Amino acid sequence: MITVEICTPSRQSAEAAKAGGAQRVELCRDLEVGGLTPSAEDIEYCVRTLGLRTHVLVRPRPGDFCYSEAEVAEIERTVMQCKALGAHAVVVGFLTADGRVDVALTRRIAQLAAPMEVTFHRAFDEARQDPLEALQAVVDSGCTRLLTSGQAPTAPEGAAVIRRLVEHAALLTSQNPQSHIHSSTFTILAGAGITPANVRQLIDATGVDEVHGSCKTTLADGTLQTDAAQVRQLIANTLSL
């Protein structure tokens, strides 16, 4: 069974995702700049009114993923707020000044977020590291999931690398079964450029159990919003043989 996560940049988008059959969303705002932290009101609405499994993007500004201490303090406050509001996971990503996965900061945030799940987002795809080395860093940080396009512009383009990541994550599990990393808690989540038309081929090519799509449409004012019909078709196509 494939889990589908829909990236929703507003409560209206979350409503559309639910109408399309989604059970899990990555909630954010300002998708036009790659997504930023949503409002507390929207988090609460998704969790308590819509009853969706809500993963919250925690990203205080556009740009790179190397943050000042003041920004880290803001991130920590947001993580605690997400926990208080009943969010199921936070989605974060941190790189060092030289472009490597920031293990120390990621671990600090993951420990603060517990017992929520923690997804390391596509900052991974900008890391100046071998993908398997970067995956090990994410694992060592205590995250439960990696959202990635395989260090390519889109997941279909990065399918070969995503498959390597899936296989390596499974290898890490088998080599260290006593680790906190095991099949039920660490997942490679493929995302970027996934559509109803290519989702089944991507699943078959990579072996992933989870996919992430925005299923977005552009409104007259230029705003990006989730389209319920696309969500419905995406979910249906993950089931196709």
Selection from 142, 164, 144, 157 nearest residue 208 by Cα: 164
Question: How much of the chain, in percent, has pLDDT values that exceed 70?
Answer: 94
pLDDT average, residue stretch 183-193: 82
Average pLDDT over residues 195-203: 96
Burial level of 155, CB count in 10 A (0-12/13-18/19+)? buried
pLDDT at position 239 is 86
The pLDDT, as a whole number, for residue 176 is: 56
pTM for the full predicted model: 0.92
Q: Is the pLDDT of residue 206 over 80?
A: yes
Higher pLDDT, 2 or 180: 2
What confidence tier does 185 reach under pLDDT thresholds 50, 70, 90?
low
Cα separation, 117 vs 88, whole angstroms: 6
Residue-wise pLDDT tens digits, 217-230:
988 888 889 999 99
Q: Read off the pLDDT of residues 85-129 as tens digits, 9 standing for 90 and up.
A: 999 999 999 999 999 999 999 999 999 999 999 999 999 999 999
Does residue 145 or residue 178 have the better pLDDT? 145
